[in-house]
Structure 1
């Protein structure tokens, strides 16, 4: 273990937990053990820092005493949001501590609205954004009836929460299937479904609308990134938005960045789509998270039978598990960012 007194940099690794978890946190028992070890291989002293919803003062003191903060906290967990943590992270960043990912970056990348903002990049599709209930009520019925099955997504969320497949039945009713685990499809009037969705616009909420991708049964490809570089892939058969008789989801098959199956996807991500993302969202390249991922579904085949890819989500807040090469890659990115910041402050 690298001692903080001898290391050039000290980094706090933040996860959600309770008071007991905070007292007993140890790198060797953390789910992020591989990340701690990779940071230490780069000469970085890494310490666990457990975020407890109602106990922020000790965490504040801990984060203000380090050079960098890496965060693994979902936006929603057991009904709790990370609003207080976001405020603390911005305070810490303003004090000169390196934070990844900063809440202001998450607010741009880690929301479903990014699908609309980047819809004209090569990963885009016919994506609509409804920023008020009145716009949703005026536009969604005609889109649904004319364009076929659609997928509605709340702007913020994780684990399939607030992601719905909606399709019109011969009876004129709609079938609505939420993507979260164990959710059952429901048949109801479109007007009733839309009334339910009115709650999604509370507190500035929005809904994003994409066409349902028929190749969903072939699986989802998760492209893992550190900064602007691909660090691995995860391919998984998923069951969200599918009927109950589709069976359980499959395991996520991890592979490294050189997986030949995804050579074209890697080239697109590194040379085109990620540069386009940072330009469109006005994010400095050095502000890209040290670990993030983009989830893709397979789109229509091209004329020469090549796959296309449709972005369905970007994950920034709590990317885990990650492929075997990813911890060392994110540790190198972290060291580079810390060193650059120190040079700039000298």
Structure 2
């Protein structure tokens, strides 16, 4: 074995420290070093793809991908490189296809009808389907429409019909909508036709897609983010939206308040997600679970039993951060060790820092 791990990052973004790399990447390197491993950070860019590929094939047993695809001009080349690395024996943490399967918004739709996702969830890939189906969906009540890409709540809209009429099977195109974006909880009004046309931009490109879900009123009680290390729940973040009239966003930027809890404080939620892991794997392509990933849940009330139900709203697996609990790097190093059993030798050629 080569006994070396490469951590891929992308330049730019708000998650970087003063040296340009993620604040929670170097702790992984330090934890690996403490265990006799080597690791380095490489900034991916398309111009250097060939050289980065050859370097990784030559030096590494595994890569850890910590790239937000939104920080790349075009993510196609990056995923192609990762697939070639995996095909040629480099362990993918995670596998590139698993990154896509878990990170795309349609992962939620693929899990509908399970204990954690209701049946009333849809995805749209083209404008004609959106225009035909979304007005029917709106007839059922307030909806949340999410673009496939984006971060910090951008392109996530709470959609409510103003003065809905009781008759008819669908909302007319001239109906007025109240729209609230999760990015900053701002509201605006558009007709349904105007909003549908506005959403065309979310459907463009290779990964264009919109996820349509019912709005859950209990989001006011908070969104619960479960931080996973493969199949282990390692931390839970309770994110309560700002206490203002239209707020539903759980992002810090929008004014949400975060609380960090231990898994044992949420026994029913932990039981729910642990019990769903096999189904999640099967429905999302039967890949190994990502090394670090998150699942976001919202409380709902089961209409039949009146009991609490945790509903999955989103999965993230591309570049999950853990700056609030850097000690997790120890667990990550142990997990990698269990996979590869390597020893340390830092290669500084591509590194984002100097020792």
Q: TM-score, normalised by structure 1?
A: 0.82
Q: How far does the alpha carbon of each residue in 1:240-268 deviate from its partner, in whole angstroms, 9 at most, with x for none?
A: 997369995244322333x3x21111122
Query: Larger relative contact order (C-alpha < 8 A, sep ≥ 6)?
Result: 2
Matched with 2:272 is 268
Determine the C-alpha separation between the residues in 1 that align with 2:86 and 2:248.
48
Unaligned runs of 5+ in 1: 1-6, 19-23, 341-346
1: distance between equivalents of 2:129 and 2:243? Answer: 27
Partner of 1:320, secondary structure, is coil
Distance 1:240 1:62 in 2: 51
Mapping of 1:1-346 within 5 angstroms?
A: 9-17=3-11, 30-64=23-57, 65-77=59-71, 80-125=73-118, 126-144=120-138, 146-170=139-163, 172-180=175-183, 182=184, 184-204=186-206, 205-238=208-241, 243=246, 248-257=254-263, 259=264, 261-270=265-274, 272-284=275-287, 287-300=288-301, 306-321=307-322, 323-324=325-326, 326-339=328-341
Report the alpha carbon displacement of residue 311 of structure 1 after superposing the two structures with TM. Answer: 0.7
Inter-partner Cα distance in structure 2 for 1:245 and 1:97: 42
Q: Is the 8 A contact 2:179 2:187 kept in 1?
A: yes
Assess if the C-alpha contact under 8 Å between 1:11 and 1:68 holds in 2.
Answer: yes
Deviation of 1:74 after TM superposition, in Å, equals: 0.9
- Which residues of structure 2 form unaligned runs of 5+? 13-17, 165-174, 343-355
CA shift for structure 1 position 202? 2.2
Distance in 1, matches of 2:254 and 2:23, equals 28
Secondary structure (helix, strand or coil) at the match of 1:319 reads coil
TM-score (norm 2): 0.80
Q: Is the 8 A contact 1:232 1:326 kept in 2?
A: no
The 1:283–1:156 alpha-carbon spacing in structure 2 relative to 1, beyond 3 Å, is farther
User: How many angstroms apart in 1 are the aligned matches of 2:89 and 2:113?
Assistant: 36
State the SS of the aligned residue for 1:336. Answer: helix
**Number of equivalent positions:** 321
Query: Which segment drifts farther, 198-207 or 220-229?
Result: 198-207
Alignment CA distance shift 1:328-1:8 (3 Å): farther
Aligned partners of 1:245, 1:147: CA distance in 2, in Å? Answer: 19
In structure 2, do the counterparts of structure 1 residues 74 and 119 end up closer, same or farther at CA, with 3 Å as the change threshold? same
Q: Per residue, is there more helix in 1 or in 2?
A: 1
